[in-house]
Amino acid sequence: MTQAALSGTGRDTATGRSYPGAGRGLGSFLRTALVERREAAIVIVAVALFVYFTVASSNFLTVADMQNLSQFIGPVAVIGAGEVFLLVCAEVDLSSGTVFVFMPFVVYYLNKSFGLPLLLSIVLAVVVGALVGALNGIITTRLRVPSFITTLGMLFLLDGIMLVLSNAAQLTMPTSGTLSSVFGGWGWSEIIWSVAIVALLYVVLNRTRFGMHAIAAGGNLVGAAEAGVPVNRVKVWCFMLCSAVSALIGIVDATRITVLDPGNPGTTEMFYAISAAVIGGTALTGGSGTVVGGFVGAVVLGVLFVGLTIVGISANAFILILGLAILGAMVANVQISKLSERRKAAT
């Protein structure tokens, strides 16, 4: 350890040298920005991709394709933001995608089989989603099953219930005029819901006591408990939050598509969402995470997916690039952490 790292005494609080980017060149400023704010790197990638596809194809910037893009981004961004809460407290939810595809079925049965009004059915389905999350959380925290296993079981359980209930036959999402337009029927409504939910989750994670406690539970579980943070309760709420928003955006997505397909277990959506969170700079080790980064990660995936389709590259290439992107993002993440360790030692 250097002399300065030990100092503590006698240094002016305001002029601490670890203050980001103070009075140095642009290169140093950029480096600081990349280390201090992990979202920065992924924003640059997103903008670069956007510019590339705009130049490469005159079709990219059309209204139809932007809408297409927004509809890809929506679910990935929302489920991803929910996953960020779990990654932050060092857990994961593999069943979020299955909640996403299954809750529209719950809306269908509540509305068609039980004759409940559509709005009430939607609200109840979101509540059911939250209860699934509560179950995940309770099994994980009280019965001490790792969340990877808990939610893996929940994934198959929900998928099975969906297949049994529907007899593996497709259904049509119930609709009702304006209400359905609001819940996904209108082309832009899905992205509006998504941005609103992501913004809300950003505020919850960064500006509230609950978000701070989630970070504390993931950063130092024992320490947070010693300080009096109800770590288990906080984690259960994170599971509920992730499931509830997955349910809500699932209902919006199904209303737009109108077809309920029990053949889709939702794993693709879940993996895209976790990919977006990871590419956006959220580590799986707990204690840190960025909702905004996850959103930009979803944008990157969406631009790649839609862009590659437009320039005529097959979806297979998308998967390949996704794989590289995840590996690249994780390597960068670890290296940046090391870099910031070194900065810490140097200040």
Partner 1 sequence: MSPGEAGGGAADDILRTEGITKRFGSVVALRGIDMHLGRGEVLGLVGDNGAGKTTFVKILCGYQRPDAGNMYIDGERVELRSVSDARAKGIETVYQDLALVPQLPVYKNLFLKREIVSGGRLGFLSDRKMRELARRYLADIKVSIPSVDTPVDRLSGGQRQAIAVARATRSEVKILLLDEPLSAMGAKESALIIDLVKDLSKNRGVSILVIDHNYAHVFELCDRVNVIHQGKVSFDRRVADTSLEELTDYMVSEYRQQVMSGRAER
Q: Interface with partner 1 by CB under 8 A: which residues?
A: 1, 5-11, 13-14, 16-19, 207-210, 212-213, 215-216, 219-220, 222-224, 226-229, 287-288, 344, 347
Query: 35 forms bridges with which residues in the sheet?
Result: none
The backbone region for 184, taken as left when phi is positive above 0, alpha when psi lies in -120 to 50, beta otherwise, is left
- Choose between 48 and 339: whose C-beta lies nearer to partner 1: 339
**Distance of closest approach, residue 11 Cβ to partner 1, in angstroms:** 5
Q: Which residue has the tokens 């990349």?
A: 34
Residue 259, beta-bridge partner list: 172
Nearer Cβ to partner 1, position 103 or 229?
Answer: 229
- Report the candidate in 221, 212, 206, 232 with the shortest Cα–Cα distance to residue 293: 206
Closer residue to partner 1 (CB): 7 or 62? 7
Question: 194: Cβ–Cβ under 8 A, 6 or more apart, which residues?
Answer: 70, 73, 74, 75, 77, 78, 249
**What tokens does 276 get?**
């977006």
Q: Which is nearer to partner 1, 314 or 344 (CB)?
A: 344
CB of 313 to partner 1, least distance (A): 39
104 three-state secondary structure: helix
Closer by beta carbon to partner 1, 62 or else 208: 208
CA distance 332 to 180: 42
Task: Kindly state the DSSP code that residue 182 receives in the 8-state scheme.
Answer: I
For the CB of residue 167, give the shortest distance to partner 1 in the complex, in Å: 44
**C-alpha distance from residue 219 to each of 90, 131, 186 (Å):** 8, 26, 41
The nearer residue to partner 1, 335 or 347, going by C-beta atoms, is: 347
Shortest Å, Cβ 6 to partner 1: 5
Q: Residue 323 CB, nearest distance to partner 1 (Å)?
A: 28
Residue 281 amino acid letter: G
Q: How far is the CB of 207 from partner 1 (least distance, A)?
A: 6
- Which neighbouring-strand residues pair with 171? 260
Length of the chain: 347
3-class DSSP assignment, residue 174: coil
Cα 39 from Cα 269, distance rounded (Å): 22
Toward partner 1, which CB reaches closer, 287 or 302? Answer: 287
| Cβ proximity of 154 and 95 under 8 Å | yes
End-to-end CA distance of the chain: 10
**Pick 13 or 167: Cβ nearer partner 1:** 13
Structure tokens belonging to residue 94: 């593999």
Report the nearest approach of partner 1 to the CB of residue 286 (Å): 9
CA distances from 281 to 204, 306, 334 (A): 18, 22, 10
Complex with partner 1: residue 61 or 227, whichever CB lies closer: 227
What is the closest distance, in whole angstroms, from the C-beta atom of residue 38 to partner 1 in the complex? Answer: 12
| Structure token digits, residue 334 | 């670890």
Residue 3 CB, nearest approach to partner 1 (Å) = 9
